[in-house]
Structure 1
Amino acid sequence: MLSANLSLTNVTAGDQYQSLLERLLFSTVTSVPCCIFLFINVTMLFTLRSKAVFRDSSRYILLFNLLLADTIQMTLSQSMYIIAVCRTRLLYPVCGLLVMLTKLTNEVSPLTLVVMSLERYVAVCHPLRHATIITSTNTALAIMVVWAISSLNVLVRVVLLLDFPFEDLDTLLMKDFCSDIAMLIGLVSDDYERAFVSFVFVSAAAVITSTYIGVMVAARSASTDKASARKARNTLLLHLVQLGLSLSSTVYNPILTAVSRSVERLVFVRLQNVFYVCIFIFPRCLSSLIYGIRDQTIRPALMFYLCCRLKVLRTSTKVSAS
Structure 2
Amino acid sequence: MVGGSEQRQADYRVIIVQILVIIFLWINMLLTVTFFKKQSFHTSARYLLFALVLLSDSFLLVVTDILLVLSFFRVVMQVWLCIIVSIVVFLYNMVTPITLAAMTLERYVAICMPLRHAELCSTRSTVHCILIIHGISSIPCIVILSVFFASVSLGVFTQNMVCSVEMFILYTWHSDLRSAVSQFFFLIMCIVIIFSYYKIMKAAKAASGENKKSTQRGLRTVSLHAFQLLLCLIQLWCPFIEAAVLNINLILYVNVRYFNYIMFFLAPRCLSSLIYGLRDETFFLALKSSFRFGLQKSTDSDAKKRGLGLTVSVCNTS
- TM-score relative to the length of structure 1: 0.84
Q: CA deviation at 1:188?
A: 5.2
**Deviates further, 235-244 or 164-173:** 164-173
1:183 aligned residue (148, 165, 168): 168
1:295 aligned residue (274, 280, 287): 280
Q: Are 1:121 and 2:108 an aligned pair?
A: yes
Provide the residue aligned with 1:163 in structure 2: 150
Q: Is the 8 A contact 2:145 2:168 kept in 1?
A: no
Distance across 1 between alignment mates of 2:8 and 2:293: 35
Distance across 1 between alignment mates of 2:142 and 2:90: 11
Distance across 1 between alignment mates of 2:155 and 2:281: 59
Distance across 1 between alignment mates of 2:42 and 2:158: 49
Q: Is the 8 A contact 1:99 1:180 kept in 2?
A: yes
| AA at the equivalent of 2:205 | R
1:86 aligned residue (53, 73, 76): 73
Q: Are 1:241 and 2:227 an aligned pair?
A: yes
Provide the residue aligned with 1:54 in structure 2: 41
Q: Is the 8 A contact 2:43 2:122 kept in 1?
A: no
Distance across 2 between alignment mates of 1:309 and 1:261: 52
C-alpha spacing 1:168/1:93, structure 2 compared with 1 (3 Å): closer
Provide the residue aligned with 1:147 in structure 2: 134
Provide the residue aligned with 1:273 in structure 2: 258
Provide the residue aligned with 1:137 in structure 2: 124
| AA at the equivalent of 2:212 | K
C-alpha spacing 1:306/1:19, structure 2 compared with 1 (3 Å): farther
Bigger-Rg structure (1/2): 2
Q: Are 1:110 and 2:76 an aligned pair?
A: no
Report the identity percentage.
30
Distance across 1 between alignment mates of 2:29 and 2:109: 29
Distance across 2 between alignment mates of 1:310 and 1:275: 36
Distance across 2 between alignment mates of 1:312 and 1:25: 37
Q: Is the 8 A contact 2:61 2:266 kept in 1?
A: yes
Distance across 2 between alignment mates of 1:311 and 1:184: 53
Q: Which whole-Å deviations, capped at 9, do the CAs of 1:84-121 have from their partners, x for residues lacking one?
A: 11122332222222222111001111111111111101
Q: Are 1:72 and 2:56 an aligned pair?
A: no
| AA at the equivalent of 1:154 | C
What SS class does the counterpart of residue 220 from structure 1 fall into? helix
Provide the residue aligned with 1:210 in structure 2: 195
What SS class does the counterpart of residue 262 from structure 1 fall into? coil
Provide the residue aligned with 1:39 in structure 2: 26
Q: Is the 8 A contact 1:242 1:283 kept in 2?
A: yes
Distance across 2 between alignment mates of 1:251 and 1:313: 46
When you count helix as a share of all residues, which structure comes out higher?
2
- TM-score relative to the length of structure 2: 0.85
| AA at the equivalent of 2:280 | D
C-alpha spacing 1:37/1:304, structure 2 compared with 1 (3 Å): farther
What SS class does the counterpart of residue 280 from structure 1 fall into? helix
Give the gaps of 5 or more residues in structure 1. Answer: 1-14
Q: Which whole-Å deviations, capped at 9, do the CAs of 1:198-253 have from their partners, x for residues lacking one?
A: 11100000010000000001111146810111000000000000000111221221
Q: CA deviation at 1:76?
A: 1.5
Q: Which whole-Å deviations, capped at 9, do the CAs of 1:51-80 have from their partners, x for residues lacking one?
A: 111111111001111111111121121111
Distance across 1 between alignment mates of 2:163 and 2:65: 12
For the aligned residue pairs, the C-alpha RMSD in angstroms reads: 2.7
Distance across 1 between alignment mates of 2:257 and 2:298: 33
Q: Is the 8 A contact 2:144 2:168 kept in 1?
A: no
**Deviates further, 289-298 or 102-111:** 289-298
C-alpha spacing 1:169/1:216, structure 2 compared with 1 (3 Å): closer
Give the gaps of 5 or more residues in structure 2. Answer: 306-318
Q: Is the 8 A contact 1:69 1:108 kept in 2?
A: yes
| AA at the equivalent of 1:293 | L
Please show how residues 92-103 of structure 1 align to structure 2 within 5 Å. 92-103=79-90
Provide the residue aligned with 1:6 in structure 2: none
**Deviates further, 228-237 or 163-172:** 163-172
Provide the residue aligned with 1:12 in structure 2: none
